Structure 1
Amino acid sequence: MIAPLRPVTRAVTYTRWLHLVMAMVVATVFAFVVPGLANMDTLAGAWLLVAPLPLLVAAGTIPRVRLSEGMQAQLLLYPARRGGREPDFTPAPSASWSDRRRTVLWLVLRYELGTLTAFFSVHTPTLAVNLISAACGGRPESVLALWKPRGGHWWYALVALAALALLLAFVVVAGEVLARAARALLGPSAAQRLAALEERTERLLEHNRLARELHDSVGHALTVAVLQAGAARAAGSPGFTDKALAAIEETGRHALEDLERVLKVLREDAPGPAAGRPALTDLKRLLTAARGSGTEVTAEVSGALEALPGPVSREGYRIAQEALTNVVRHAGPMPVSLRIAVRADVLELDISNPLPASAGSAVSGTGSGLRGIRERAALLGGHAETGVHEGAWRVRAVLPLSA
């Protein structure tokens, strides 16, 4: 299809035409109320472009007017975007005086363009009919009380077609101008778009953090449960089996609490409460779970864990948990040394164990758990090292207390 004719076949051209003409409702009310404005064929009728402006300014300050205009614009100016595609903007009431000012500009622009479009939509077809009648030798009426075509000129028919083509071109251009104005005036401002982007980024970061929480908590619980169950079956001792089942029950209960908390945050799409998250003050339950799986853990703590800032204590707990889980999962029952030192300005965690007979992902340092350890430390402004050190596998993290 020829490019200039493509807008004629698009439905959006006619929905935008309708949106423009709808602005004539205000002009019609003023034409009936104010004497002399009803006759648009005279210069006095031009006041119809000016008289409603104070009313439009007052209406633009009403917050719900912006919402109504936004919904109309989205429905008629962008009808092709209703099929699941991302909308150009989300209609919303005015939230600031900046929104109100832009709403006033939108109402004035829509009214002026709409009134002109309605005027041309009524008189251009009338002009075309008169010209065609004149071309056929008829007796046409005068046009806008200014000009009366004389019959007998065949080229009047070509002028009539040109007038209709110009009307369509005007509608297409006016509709495109109005659509772009709607995006600028009814959509979010630059500051609002930046705030929305920052909010979305914060939400993604929170979801990533929750994913790490689930990986650490549930992964640790499943690892401990599997090892406890295997050890109980191999031992064949009722007493050991009871202890193993108790450890599995406690670890599973804590994992379920973490899972419920994370799912609640995801459902509400809001930051989760920090109070329910384990911290280094809960180190005892972490050591109990690791020792219950057959791992000999030697813990050395220096400094007051209760004095640690909340974020540092919680992330430190997760780092220690992931390091112990890696040992249990990849190295099996073997002695582990855990040292925690609370200094004046940093928290140091050092977890080391002898290298297993066959080095797996724990030694390679490419697993998601070890990557999560480094990410946790980096988010708090610290750093973490994982790898072989003096013949042992070592995880060392330094977290600044100022975080």
Structure 2
Amino acid sequence: MTGMPRLPRFLRPLTRAVTYTRWLHMLVGAFIAFVCGLVYPGFVDLSLAEWALVPLIPVPLLVAAAMVPAMRLAEGLQARVMLFPGPHARVKDGSEDPGIAAAPSTSWSDRGRTAVWMVLRLEVGCAIAFLTGQLMALSLALVGAAAGSPSGADPLIPVAGQHWAYALLVPVAPLVLVLVVAAVGPMMAAAARRLLGPSPKERLAALEERTEQLLERNRIARELHDSIGHALTVAVVQAGAARAAADPEFTERALDAIEETGRAALEDLERVLLVLREAEQPVSSRPALGEADRLFDSARASGAKVDAEVTGPLDQVPGPVSREGYRMLQEALTNVLRHAGAVPVRVRITVERTCLLMDVRSPLPTTAGAVTGGGSGSGLRGIRERAALLGGHARAGQEDGEWQVHVELPLG
């Protein structure tokens, strides 16, 4: 089935709604000139110099109005709605951000750009209004000449005589008008982007907000990776150990450990989902290093021999450092269980005056797929990212024939 033939390129603006909303936007910009012109000089028997005053008289008033911060908001909203195509428009950029800041002025630079925009809109609007009036009057004059009766219209381009052939020229004037509007409209949209677009300060604020959103998404991803990954690792290790032991008592202990770890993971999952849904979940509900015994017990229940030593007052560690430290310790123990299995693990947590030191050591993995080298897994990368965000650093790798994860976090 053959589709309908496409219009010539120069006629396509006739079918786009944005062409006519831009036309209306420019005509509205000339309204204040019309109102001021009624007061002075009036629209009766004007000379050419008096006509030239009509678009100039409102300029001081517009500049004064642009000093009001809310004017930028009003102009921005109008430009967004009328100068740029919406999702329904049949143009390629219908879904793009117009780049117009719909916000009040916050600086003299914003006010100055708003004033330039309002004056530009006035002058272009007056020109389009004049062209609209003249071309519509010409069309009416052509209709009258074709019908053989005067139309009362008095365009600057006179229509001489009367003849039916003038009817063929009637559509020309409206077509020319629409094509002129279609050409001027994109230029006004470009000017609006430049004069009403975000200031450098607003662009920086938007960039900071975007950065905060990305950081929050990364934090949530790390939370899910560390919590759910730890729970699944413990469950897999426990299930494998229970099958190998074939001991009902050991199996019972393994099921208890899986249940406890799974319950803690579900609590973490619910908290993260609450943050994603709406929000303000208190960060104090996240586990901290004071609850590290829970991690040690979980690892021991999986068969690992955990030798843990905590030196210094953990209760004096700042909340963010303690909570992130807990997640780092959780990921370090998870890596041991995942890659080395039930092996001896030595954990040293030291709280010094200015920093928190955490050291997790275990025998090197010997199974296939073990982590070697500098530690490039996503879990170890997450540990490094957490440490960097707190102004500290972390390293993981082989040292003295052991696998070591070492973390240093400032307490300031």
Report the TM range for the smaller structure's normalisation: 0.7 to 0.9
Contact in 2 for aligned 1:388/1:394 (Cα 8 Å): yes
Counterpart-to-counterpart distance in 2, 1:359 and 1:386: 19
Counterpart-to-counterpart distance in 2, 1:295 and 1:162: 89
SS at match of 2:54: helix
* Structure 1 counterpart of 2:206: 196
1:15-164 paired onto structure 2 within 5 Å: 15-32=21-38, 34=39, 36-39=41-44, 42-43=47-48, 44-53=50-59, 55-57=61-63, 59-60=65-66, 65-79=71-85, 85-89=95-99, 92-94=102-104, 96-98=106-108, 99-124=110-135, 126=137
Counterpart-to-counterpart distance in 1, 2:333 and 2:158: 96
* Structure 2 counterpart of 1:337: 346
Q: 1:66 to 1:133 in 2, by over 3 A?
A: same
Counterpart-to-counterpart distance in 1, 2:352 and 2:136: 86
Counterpart-to-counterpart distance in 2, 1:68 and 1:81: 22
- Counterpart of 1:121 in structure 2: which amino acid? T
Any idea what the Cα deviations from partners look like across 1:316-350, whole Å, max 9, x if unmatched? 22221111111112221111111122234332222
* Structure 1 counterpart of 2:4: none
Any idea what the Cα deviations from partners look like across 1:357-382, whole Å, max 9, x if unmatched? 32524335232112212222233333
Contact in 1 for aligned 2:100/2:193 (Cα 8 Å): no
1:156-175 paired onto structure 2 within 5 Å: 171-172=181-182, 174-175=184-185
* Structure 2 counterpart of 1:388: 398
The range that moved more, 328-337 or 69-78, is 69-78
TM-score by length of 2: 0.78
Residue from 327, 332, 335 that aligns with 1:323 = 332
Counterpart-to-counterpart distance in 1, 2:14 and 2:224: 56
CA shift for structure 1 position 352: 1.5
Counterpart-to-counterpart distance in 2, 1:358 and 1:304: 38
Counterpart-to-counterpart distance in 2, 1:264 and 1:100: 42
CA shift for structure 1 position 294: 1.4
Q: Which runs of 5+ in 1 are unaligned?
A: 152-159
Q: Which runs of 5+ in 2 are unaligned?
A: 1-6, 162-169
Any idea what the Cα deviations from partners look like across 1:11-57, whole Å, max 9, x if unmatched? 6444322321232333344444x164224853434333234345545
CA shift for structure 1 position 308: 2.3
Residue from 206, 225, 246 that aligns with 1:215 = 225
Any idea what the Cα deviations from partners look like across 1:79-119, whole Å, max 9, x if unmatched? 16666622213553415254455434333321221012101
Contact in 2 for aligned 1:120/1:167 (Cα 8 Å): yes
Contact in 2 for aligned 1:327/1:362 (Cα 8 Å): no
Contact in 1 for aligned 2:67/2:115 (Cα 8 Å): yes
TM-score by length of 1: 0.80
CA shift for structure 1 position 280: 1.6
The range that moved more, 260-269 or 199-208, is 260-269
Contact in 2 for aligned 1:280/1:316 (Cα 8 Å): yes
Residue from 307, 311, 333 that aligns with 2:316 = 307
* Structure 1 counterpart of 2:164: none
Counterpart-to-counterpart distance in 2, 1:293 and 1:148: 98
Alignment of 1:354 with 2:363, yes or no, is: yes
* Structure 2 counterpart of 1:155: none
* Structure 1 counterpart of 2:188: 178
The range that moved more, 276-285 or 18-27, is 18-27
Alignment of 1:367 with 2:377, yes or no, is: yes
- Counterpart of 1:77 in structure 2: which amino acid? L
SS at match of 1:177: helix
The range that moved more, 273-282 or 198-207, is 273-282
SS at match of 2:292: helix
Paired residues, number: 395
- Counterpart of 1:369 in structure 2: which amino acid? G
Percentage of identical aligned residues: 53
- Counterpart of 1:218 in structure 2: which amino acid? I
Q: 1:388 to 1:127 in 2, by over 3 A?
A: same
SS at match of 2:362: strand
- Counterpart of 1:21 in structure 2: which amino acid? L
Alignment of 1:254 with 2:264, yes or no, is: yes
Counterpart-to-counterpart distance in 1, 2:196 and 2:248: 73
Contact in 2 for aligned 1:40/1:46 (Cα 8 Å): no
CA shift for structure 1 position 222: 1.9
Counterpart-to-counterpart distance in 2, 1:8 and 1:96: 39
Contact in 2 for aligned 1:39/1:45 (Cα 8 Å): no
- Counterpart of 1:303 in structure 2: which amino acid? G
- Counterpart of 2:116 in structure 1: which amino acid? L
Any idea what the Cα deviations from partners look like across 1:97-147, whole Å, max 9, x if unmatched? 54455434333321221012101221245468879999xxx9999977x89
Contact in 2 for aligned 1:337/1:352 (Cα 8 Å): yes
SS at match of 1:358: coil
